[in-house]
């Protein structure tokens, strides 16, 4: 399989939200909340967008202190690591204000609200868009904090991968043809999780190659369940 990035319905909506936030003249600056269950493509999109645009990507680590988080951000920006929270925050704001780079922070739902407040400070001082990315419980965390939520101007829920997304991914990544009913069966098996879709497409590619075809049929997908330890009729049943 080829390593490809496929524009899904989720990523299209995320790009639209970012274009609004980054439009200095007519946009709507603020924070953004990108949320959804694991496996919906949030991290893949964030990293891809960072490479494409020069934005800053920061992944949260467990048990971060304010200084550890802000120092990690400074390392991303210019390789430095100031020795206090105040110096880290000032340097980060100065760098972002000068270079105007959007900040995408992944797995924000692992942070305490007090640490998220530091990210709000960075947005307020530097004026750059700050994208808060996490699983579905990130939305209520932000919504419950008025001074955070009042700054959230874009919200994108990353939903389950669609049959159309699966058909496109199979074609781009493995040169496979999937009819809608076949893609629907893979969608049902995956529960909308792109990681499981990847595994199924990879296995289907091997079966199709062995059969000398580029078309995946229902029988191939049905056979996947016996090859998945502990599975019975697929992840969500077939």
pLDDT 10s digits, 35-51 = 999 999 999 999 999 99
Confidence at residue 91, expressed as pLDDT on a 0 to 100 scale: 96
Choose the CATH number for 163-227 among 1.25.40, 1.10.8, 1.10.10, 1.10.3470. Answer: 1.10.8
Residue 72: Cβ within 10 Å count: 18
Pairing of strands 130-134, 215-216: unpaired
* Alpha carbon 31 to chain centroid, angstroms: 16
Contact 236, 191 (CB under 8 A): yes
Q: For the segment 150-198, what is each residue's pLDDT rounded down to a tens digit?
A: 999 999 999 999 999 999 999 999 999 999 999 999 999 988 899 999 9
Using 50, 70 and 90 to split pLDDT, how confident is the model at 148?
Answer: very high
pLDDT of 228 above 60: no
pLDDT of 82 above 80: yes
- Domain coordinates of the chain in residue numbers? 9-157, 163-227
Pairing of strands 103-106, 56-59: parallel
Confidence at residue 61, expressed as pLDDT on a 0 to 100 scale: 96
Nearest-angstrom CA–CA distance, 9 and 225: 27
Q: pTM score, two decimals? A: 0.88
Measure Cα distances from 217 to 26, 234, 235, 237 in Å. Answer: 49, 16, 18, 17
Confidence at residue 24, expressed as pLDDT on a 0 to 100 scale: 80
Confidence at residue 28, expressed as pLDDT on a 0 to 100 scale: 80
Please give the CATH superfamily to which domain 9-157 belongs.
P-loop containing nucleotide triphosphate hydrolases (3.40.50.300)
Give the percent of the chain with pLDDT over 70: 94
Using 50, 70 and 90 to split pLDDT, how confident is the model at 25?
Answer: confident
User: Which residue do the tokens 């809608």 mark?
Assistant: 180
């Amino acid at each position: 399989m080829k390593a490809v990035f496929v524009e899904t319905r989720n990523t299209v909506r995320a790009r639209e939200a970012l274009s609004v936030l980054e439009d200095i003249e007519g946009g709507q600056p603020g924070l953004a909340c990108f949320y959804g269950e694991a496996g919906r493509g949030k991290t893949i999109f964030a990293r891809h967008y960072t490479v494409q645009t020069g934005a800053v990507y920061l992944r949260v680590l467990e048990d971060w202190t304010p200084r550890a988080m802000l120092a990690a951000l400074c390392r991303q920006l210019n390789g430095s690591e100031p020795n206090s929270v105040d110096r880290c925050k000032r340097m980060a704001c100065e760098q972002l204000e000068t270079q105007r780079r959007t900040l995408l922070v992944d797995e924000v739902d692992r942070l305490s609200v007090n640490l998220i407040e530091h990210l709000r400070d960075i947005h307020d001082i530097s004026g750059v868009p700050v994208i808060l990315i996490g699983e579905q419980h990130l939305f209520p965390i932000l919504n419950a904090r008025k001074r955070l939520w009042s700054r959230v101007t874009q919200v994108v829920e990353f939903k389950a991968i669609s049959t159309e997304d699966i058909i496109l991914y199979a074609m781009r990544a493995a040169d496979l043809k999937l009819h809608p009913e076949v893609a629907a069966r893979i969608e049902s098996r995956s529960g909308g999780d792109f990681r499981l879709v990847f595994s199924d497409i990879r296995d289907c590619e091997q079966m199709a190659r062995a059969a000398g075809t580029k078309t995946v049929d229902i029988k191939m997908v049905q056979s996947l369940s016996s090859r998945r330890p502990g599975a019975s009729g697929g992840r969500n049943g077939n």
